[in-house]
Amino acid sequence: MDAHVTPLYKQNEENRPIPEPGPDEVLLRMHSVGICGSDVHYWQHGRIGDFVVKDPMVLGHEASGTVVKVGSGVTHLKPGDRVAIEPGVPREMDEFCRTGRYNLSPTIFFCATPPDNGNLCRYYKHSASYCYKLPDNVTFEEGALIEPLSVGIHACKRAGVTLGSKVFVSGSGPIGLVNVLVAKMMGAAAVVITDLSASRLQKAKEVGADFTIQVKNETPQEVASKVESLLGCMPEITVECTGVQACIQAGIYATRSGGTLVLVGLGPEMVTVPIVNAAVREVDIRGIFRYCNTWPVAIALLASKRVNVKPLVTHRFPLEKALEAFETTKRGEGVKVMLKCDPTDHNP
């Protein structure tokens, strides 16, 4: 069965009708859509955990565009408004929505998570309440990057990063990098980051990491020891962005007693970790699932120029070259690959 490769090829050849927005929706002419590791994973494997691609699916969930039509009930947006799209939209007002943690709602709609289509297309309709107007000084690409930036905001909030925190970020992919950006923004005094790739660690330096460790074949304990020696102490906070078993182990060993380890990267369902080490040292292990209530915060940070996400974009492709863009991401080249969906405007 080749359902897992269908979505991408369909994007290149399929003409879909321009959707009609419902009363509380807006129709968008898409502009910039970033490619996420999860998009590549669905394309290659057709599933992530319990989310299985059964029918052709449009990919893409890091996105921005221009409003071209508004539903009858929409008052805060008008045609011509440039917006960033929050891809997760609750379908019902359940207990999680009532407590402000709508990301945990089991029935949430989420772009490009089966069976929900994403927004890597020319025209796309979305709930108006989850489209956020971009200020004039924030570009479409910055708007699309709010999605990964939101993961960093949510993770650092869950971790409790604050003034003077010493932070260890594991993994220097796009999500590791946004965690560096946000941790520094939230007052971290020192951030150390690890990765296998020297070029990715160089990018981490550019966005504000104080120390980098290129991991080769060290044991988790050895990595933890290097983190401690560079920071001059064990970090109170570790943000694990790889999902790799050895990295989670290193995260537990590295975190100061009484500190917090946040698991952002997700790997296999079952992982062997030194849980007793964490337990007897009161290291809190927290998970995160996407984000909630982060778009207004991210827009304020971008508009005030307190956070610069522009260096994350290393490649741009027109929508017609989606396959080439996905191949580039799959090979691990650059940091963030951006697809440009508006043939009349390829500007950032």
DSSP 238-289: EEE-S--HHHHHHHHHHSPTT-EEEE-S---S-----HHHHHHTT-EEEE--
Picking from 123, 139, 113, 138, the residue whose alpha carbon sits closest to that of residue 61 is: 113
Domain 25-133+309-340 has CATH 3.90.180.10: yes
Q: By 3-state DSSP, what share of the chain in percent is helix, strand and coil, each rounded to 5?
A: 35, 20, 45
> Could you tell me the pTM of the whole model?
0.94
Number of other CB atoms surrounding residue 286 within 10 Å: 13
Picking from 161, 315, 162, the residue whose alpha carbon sits closest to that of residue 238 is: 161
Rounded to 5 degrees, what angle do the CA atoms 201, 236, 282 make? 130
Number of other CB atoms surrounding residue 72 within 10 Å: 9
Picking from 31, 69, 61, 58, the residue whose alpha carbon sits closest to that of residue 342 is: 31
pLDDT value at position 50? 86
Q: What do you get for the CA distance between the two ends of the chain, in Å? A: 38
- In CATH, the architecture of 152-287 is 3-Layer(aba) Sandwich (3.40)
pLDDT value at position 49? 84
On the question of a common fold for 25-133+309-340 and 152-287, the answer reads no
**182's tokens:** 């946000």
pLDDT value at position 2? 38
pLDDT value at position 293? 98
* Domain chopping of the chain, boundaries: 25-133+309-340, 152-287
Mean pLDDT by 10 residues, the chain (348 residues): 38 74 98 96 91 93 98 98 98 97 97 95 97 98 98 98 98 97 98 97 97 98 98 98 98 98 95 98 98 98 97 96 95 94 92
Number of other CB atoms surrounding residue 307 within 10 Å: 23
